[in-house]
Each structure stands twice: as structure tokens, then as C-alpha cells.
Amino acid sequence: MLDKSERYLIVGLGLLGGKYALELTKAGFHVDGINRSEKHLQYALDKGYIRSGKTHDFEDLVAQADHIIFGLYPTTLLEWFGTYGRRIKPGCIFTDVSGVKTGLVGPIQEMCPPGVEFIPSHPMAGRETSSVEHAAEVNFGPANFIITPTPKNTPRAIVWITELAQVLGFRHISTLTVEEHDRMIGYVSQLCHAIAVSLMCANDNAALCEYTGDSFRDLTRIARINETMWSELFLWNKDNLIAEIDQFEGALGQLRAALAAGDRAGLEEMFRLSTRRRAMFDKKLPD
């Protein structure tokens, strides 16, 4: 298992970065942090998520780290690495939490100094809330952890990231290529957020809280959204997301056509198909 004498550095103490820091510290690892916000850094220090941290002049923390977890948006990660990546010491293996991999993984791996390795991964455990103050609310146990290795990755790095996911508490760990990951995420995550946002924007529904039931609340829970992060993720993965929106529009159009034609049999067939697929999905969900 992971060597507890090694030092971990979290760059970006947001929701997921904060949760990584919390779980690694609880497991007995030395964890430091770098964060832009002094307030959020101080929160992580006060709560004992990290042993030390800085908002600037942090090159020493970078140089001392045996492993780094980047909790940054893709654009910010590229900018950060271009400035400070050369400070990472040989032997360091690091990862990220980014929800999109195409356009990120290749450039970062190309910029890695000799002896430094980037093994990309994606913990699918976000919430509608954000920031380190909510990190303790995140539950990694039932969530999926996806590793997206490339031919540049070594067996050592894949073992490390797998063991890291286990220490963090993930019970379901899988591997996809970068391209497979981004196609999948376009459907199971980004399309869902696009639908939720569209539902809230389609109607001036401020007064509907007086009348709605669980259906509307469940469907729109994720419409309370971090506009900076999600606009970036949507645009970085726009080709996959547009394809999924087109596919969804086709299914919605089929339902509309059945309604317009008074086709009860057509509606019932769609409902039966939906029920069967949801039942199969439920059987495969992690405990």
C-alpha cells in the first residue's frame, strides 16, 4: 500500500481537493496545501485537513512533494503547470480531478520534467455545493473513480493511483481511455446538467416551489451550478456534449410525436423501455 512517509500536496483546496486532504490526513499521511483563497486555506488549516499551506511563495512545497493532487479547473491547471511544473522533483507521481481529459492530459504529460509522471483520474463525486467548507459532506464510498492512463504511464503510476483511490474510500474503480472518458462524461454527467439547467431556464418558475413534488426537485437538484467550472467543462467537451444533446432531442422528439399522434401504444413502449433500462442500471449501481 501507499508509503506514509511520503509527502502529499493538494493544489486547489476546493470541494474535492479538500476531501482528498481530509481523507489522506485521516489515514495518517503528511498533507500540505496550496490555495488562492487565504480564507479557504485557513479553514483547511483550522480543521486539520492539511499540516501546512500557502497562497504564494509556495515553490518549496512543490519541490518537497512526493505526490501532488491538482484540484484545479483544466485551464488553470495548464497555466499553473506551465509556470511551476519545472519545480516538481524527479520521482513525483501526480494526478488531477478534472472532469474533462482531452486537451489536458496530452499537454501536461508533454510538459512533465524528466522523472515526473502524470496519471490522470476523475473522482465522480461532486455535489451541487462547492468549496472546502463542504468537503466533509462528500461521500466517496458509493462514487465511481475513473483512471484514464495513456501509453506514457508506467505500471508504478497505475498501482499508485489505484491504491490512492482505495485509501480515499472509493469502492468502485475503473479504467477508460481519455477519449472513452470524455464521451461517457458527455452523457452521464454533462447532458444531465444541461437538462437540469434547461428545465430551470425554460420557465420563470420562482413560485413553483409552492406546488412542486419530488420529480421536479430531483430533476433540478444539480441546476444549482458553479457557472465558472461548468461553462469551462461544457466548452472543453463541446463536441461530445452536442452529440449527446442531439441524441436526447431525438428521444424527446419521438415522445412528442407519439403525444401529437395520440399514440398511447408508442408512449407505453417508451415507458417500458425506460423502466427496463433503469432496472438494469439499478442492479449495477455500487452499494
Q: What is the pLDDT of residue 54?
A: 97
Which pLDDT score is estimated for 283? 74
Spatial strand order in the sheet of 144-147: 121-124, 144-147, 172-175
- One-letter identity of residue 219: L
Q: Note the CATH number of domain 181-284.
A: 1.10.3660.10
Instruction: List per-residue pLDDT tens for the chain, 287 residues long.
Output: 899 999 999 999 999 999 999 999 999 999 999 999 999 999 999 999 999 999 999 999 999 999 999 999 999 999 999 999 999 999 999 999 999 999 999 999 999 999 999 999 999 987 767 789 999 999 999 999 999 999 999 999 999 999 999 999 999 999 999 999 999 999 999 999 999 999 999 887 666 767 777 888 888 889 998 899 999 999 999 999 999 999 999 999 999 999 999 999 999 999 999 999 999 888 766 55
Burial (CB count <10 Å: 0-12, 13-18, 19+), residue 94: buried
| Alpha helices, H only, 190-263 | 192-201, 214-220, 227-236, 238-260
pLDDT value, residue 29? 98
Write down the mean pLDDT value for the chain: 94
Please enumerate in sequence order all residues whose Cβ is within 8 A of that of 110, keeping only pairs 6 or more positions apart, or say none: none
The pLDDT value recorded for residue 103 is: 96
* Strands 93-96 and 121-124, sheet pairing: unpaired
Are 7-176 and 181-284 in the same CATH fold? no
Q: pLDDT value at position 40?
A: 96
- pLDDT score for 213: 77
pLDDT for position 183 = 97
Give the domain ranges of the chain.
Answer: 7-176, 181-284
Residue-wise pLDDT for 21-35, tens only, equals 999 999 999 999 999
pLDDT at 1: 84
Give CA–CA dist 241/46, Å, rounded: 40
Burial of 13 (0-12, 13-18, 19+ CB in 10 A): buried
CATH of domain 7-176: 3.40.50.720
List, in sequence order, the alpha helices (H) in the chain: 15-26, 38-46, 59-64, 74-84, 105-111, 155-168, 178-185, 192-201, 214-220, 227-236, 238-260, 264-284
Please check whether residue 223 is in contact with residue 196, taking contact to mean a CB–CB distance below 8 angstroms: yes
Helix and strand totals (H; E) in the chain: 12, 9
pTM equals 0.91
